[in-house]
Structure 1
Amino acid sequence: MGMDTLQPTFQLSSTCGAIEKKIICMHGGIGRSIHSVEQIEKLERPITMDAGSIILMDLLWSDPTENDSIEGLRPNARGPGLVTFGPDRVTEFCKKNKLQLIIRAHECVMDGFERFAQGQLITLFSATNYCGTANNAGAILVVGRGLVVVPKLIHPLPPPLQSPETSPERAMDDTWMQELNIQRPPTPTRGRPQPDLDRSSLAYI
C-alpha cells in the first residue's frame, strides 16, 4: 500500500522513530530507565556513549528477557551495567504511552522476526545468515492500513555448490566476513545458550 494513508515516520532525538505515534522503533529496548517517549525526545543531539546516559545505554543495549514468563529486570549476559526487561515492562510502557507496538533489532532471531510480550514487541532482524555463521532467515515488516503489521521473510541463500577452495570469490567473501567479525562486538543469536555468567550478580545490572 502507499504511504498516503500513513503519517510519515518521525525521529525521536535521532535514536528512535515512530509511526502514527502508535508504533515505536528502536535498536535495543526500553531497559530499566525508559518509561515515557518524552525521555527519548529530550535526549540532546549530538550525543555519544561517553555522555553516560542510562537512557541511551538502554536504547542501544538492552534486550527482552528470554520469554514471556520471565518478568521484571534481569542482568544481561552482554556485560556489566546492561539489563534485560520482561513483558510486564513492555505492557506498562505501551499502555502509558498509548502505543500499539515496539519494534526493535539488536539480536539475531532465526526466523527473521520474533514476537514478545504477547505481540506488543517484535524483534526484527533483516540480515540473513548473519556474519556467515548463523544460517538465520531475515525479515521485514510491512505496515498496512489500520497499522496491521505483516512480516515478510527473506530466506538465506543455499550454500554454494563449489567449495571455498575452488571458488576464489567465496574465499574472498569469507576473508572479508572474518575481518568484519573481529572488528565488531558480537550479536548473539536470540534463544541460543549464552556463556555461563553469574546472571544473579548485581554487577550485571
Structure 2
Amino acid sequence: MGERDGIWVWHRINRLFNWLPLAALIEKKIICMHGGIGRSINHVEQIENLQRPITMEAGSIVLMDLLWSDPTENDSVEGLRPNARGPGLVTFGPDRVMEFCNNNDLQLIVRAHECVMDGFERFAQGHLITLFSATNYCGTANNAGAILVLGRDLVVVPKLIHPLPPAMSSPEASPERHIEDTWMQVLPLSLC
C-alpha cells in the first residue's frame, strides 16, 4: 500500500476499533468480553453505558478493567490483587465473579486476553472461562486453542484446536496439506 496509504488505512482501522462492541450478552445468561470485570464492574449496564467512540484518553476505570483485568491465579485467591500487566491494573478473585454473576443473573463470563495451555480454562467453579483460540502462541507456547460451542439450554462444550506439527521436509507431509483434515477431525460438525 505504500507509506501514505498504509498509514491512512492504519488510522482508519484504529478509529473503527473505537466503535466496536466491548462485550456481548448471550440469552441474558452469558457475557463475553476481552479482559474481565476487575474492581469496578458490578453491573452489565456499566458496560452498556460506555460512550462511543471509545477513547483511551478518557481512561475510565471501567474500560481499563474490561480490557486489561485478569482472574487471580486460582480459585483459592479471592479479592483484588495488583496485576503484573502494569500499574493500576488488577486481578480479581472468584468472589468477584460470583458477585457479578449474582448481580446480573448470569451463569457465565467468557473472556480471552490470556494464553492458556489447553485453549480454555475454568475459574470460579466454572462461572468464568478463559478462552484462547490461537494455537502455539507467538510460535513458542505450544498451546492448544479452543472454541466454545453452545448447545441447547446454554450447555457449553469446548472444542480443542491442536497445534499443527512442525513442518516436514516433503510436500506430502506438509501441515498445509492436512489443515482441512485436522480441522474436521478436531471440530465435529454435530452440536450436543
Question: TM-score, normalised to structure 2's length?
Answer: 0.77
Superposition pairs for residues 148-163 of structure 1, below 5 Å?
A: 148-162=155-169
Q: Secondary structure at the match of 1:49?
A: coil
Per-residue deviation at 1:48?
Answer: 1.6
Tell me the SS of whatever aligns to 1:90.
Answer: helix
Which amino acid in structure 2 is aligned with residue 144 of structure 1? G
Partner residue of 1:197? none
Task: Provide the rounded CA distance (Å) in 1 between the counterparts of 2:70 and 2:43.
Answer: 17
SS in 2 for 1:50: coil
Deviation of 1:123 after TM superposition, in Å, equals 0.1
- Is residue 141 from structure 1 mapped to residue 148 from structure 2 by the alignment? yes
Q: Could you tell me how far apart the structure 1 residues matched to 2:133 and 2:38 are?
A: 22
Out of 92, 96, 102, the position equivalent to 1:95 is 102
Paired position in structure 2 for 1:105: 112
Cα deviation, residue 160, structure 1: 1.4
- Hey, what's the Cα distance between the residues in 2 that align with 1:132 and 1:125? 15
2:131 to 112, 124, 130: 124
Give the equivalent residue in structure 2 for 1:72. Answer: 79
> CA RMSD for the aligned pairs?
1.2
Q: Deviations over 1:91-135 (max 9, x none)?
A: 000011000000000000000000000000000000000111110
Could you tell me how far 1:161 is from its partner in structure 2?
A: 2.4
What is the aligned counterpart of 1:50 among 35, 57, 71?
57
Aligned length: 151
1:34 and 2:41 matched? yes
SS in 2 for 1:157: coil
Normalising by structure 1, we get a TM-score of: 0.72
Task: Report 1 or 2 for greater relative contact order, CA contacts < 8 Å, sequence distance ≥ 6.
Answer: 1
Shift in Å, 1:18: 0.8
Give ranges in structure 1 of 5+ residues lacking alignment: 1-12, 163-205
SS of the equivalent of 2:57 reads helix
For the residues of structure 2 that align with 1:139 and 1:15, how far apart are their CA atoms? Answer: 21
Q: 1:128 is paired with a residue of what secondary structure?
A: coil
Q: CA deviation at 1:52?
A: 1.3
Q: Give, in angstroms, the shift of residue 60 of structure 1.
A: 0.3
Name segments (4+ residues, structure 1) moved above 4 Å: none
Instruction: Give % identity.
Output: 84
2:11 aligns to what?
none
Q: CA deviation at 1:86?
A: 0.1
Correspondence for 1:171: none
Q: Secondary structure at the match of 1:39?
A: helix
Name the one with the larger helix percent: 2
Find the residue that maps to 2:118 and give its secondary structure. Answer: coil
1-side partners of 2:133 and 2:69: how far apart? 19
